[in-house]
Amino acid sequence: MKTARDIMTEKLLTASHSTTLEQAHRIMETNHIHHILVVDSHDKLAGIISDRDIKKFASPFAGSGLETLNDKATLSLPVEKIMSRETVTIAPQKTVKACIAKLIENNINSLPVIDDDGSLLGIVTSKNILEYLHKEL
């Protein structure tokens, strides 16, 4: 049976607490991703931020050239101001079915994969699940 380790994305783009919302948004757009994991100075998971989090917090004009001074100020805030700190995670040996159950139960689209000592190994997203199911069907 396939596990979180088998389907996770290992090449992670992470942010620090001080990464600005504008920088995080640019990383997401450039790399066509929807989540960035926020790590502390020891590379341990501190939180997660999604493109939806940024869109909820920032004006639709932010970054467009039509933004106000307030929009620019918002984009300069560090991600730690709006990141989710209580991150739902999964162990690498958990099954794909367990990943799906956690995503559904928590109404989320991504699960950081953490080993027993708290090291960040990867991320399982709803896209990873769909790609796996597509191959299997």
Q: What is the pLDDT of residues 31-85, one digit of tens each?
A: 999 999 999 988 899 999 998 888 887 766 655 666 667 767 778 899 999 999 9
* Structural domains in the chain, sorted by start: 4-136 (3.10.580.10)
Q: What is the mean pLDDT of the chain?
A: 90
pLDDT reported for residue 125: 96
d(CA 116, CA 15): 22
- The pLDDT assigned to 12 comes to 93
Tell me the whole-structure pTM to 2 decimals. 0.86
Residue among 114, 109, 101, 106 at smallest CA distance from 125: 109
Nearest Cα to 122, choosing from 1, 3, 40? 3
% of the chain with per-residue pLDDT over 90: 70
